[in-house]
Amino acid sequence: MSHWKEMNKEELEKQYSPSCWSHRMDKDAVVEAHIKEIAKAPALLIYFHGGYWQLLSKDLSGFMVPPLVKAGAIVVAVEYSLAPKGNMDLIVSQVRHSVAFIVQQYSALSGVYLCGHSAGAHLGAMVLCTDWAEFGISPDIKGALLVSGIYDLCPIVHTSANDPLQMTEGDALRNSPLQFVNTMKRQGGNCEIVVSVAQHDSDEFKKQSQEYYQDINDEQSWPWRSNKLRRGRYC
């Protein structure tokens, strides 16, 4: 992953500025267009919004609720403290506690699905590698859809996106899903993980998604074998 260190500041900024990638609209319209998009999923869906950990909210994520509820799903959009009020450690902790609380509230359901976009995909990936023993629960996470996620935060430290976050290299490593793939695998479970990127995402975003997908599907790194290996798809 160290290839990004060879980029100059302008190129690094471009690679990690999602609002600049659209070929169809001005960068200021990208976030607004994202809010209008919609996805469908069954059962209990927990959604983590994007916005580089500093924009958007659970309320804006409410656009997806009516059609999903109409289709029979239970939808929960998770809120977290946006930077600079919240740092990365706090944000990840809040999301994990939120999932634990939600799972306890809907304990009668047979399974949970996660969905996140951009920063929300990062948070979803961090949820997948949570040590649930710390929370006294064992959630049955059956699926996760991670869209345009960031799985190695180290490059972000050197971009303007880090201005409100103020992450150090240590903060970035501690909160990078790519560092904890083996932790996720040791927990086992029957969870299908779909890793997805958009057509016009930057090469760096696509590379991160490909590397995360490859790591979660590297069976040689699994410490055990069973008929319930996590599966992954990349699209």
| Three-point CA angle 182, 188, 189, nearest 5° | 140
Contacts for 206 with CB less than 8 Å, ≥ 6 apart: 197
Task: Report the pLDDT value the prediction gives residue 233, as an integer from 0 to 100.
Answer: 56
| pLDDT tens column, 86-122 | 999 999 999 999 999 999 888 777 689 999 999 999 9
Q: What is the pLDDT of residue 17?
A: 77
Confidence of residue 124 (pLDDT cuts 50, 70, 90): very high
193 and 127 Cβ atoms separated by less than 8 Å: no
Mean of the per-residue pLDDT values for the chain? Answer: 83
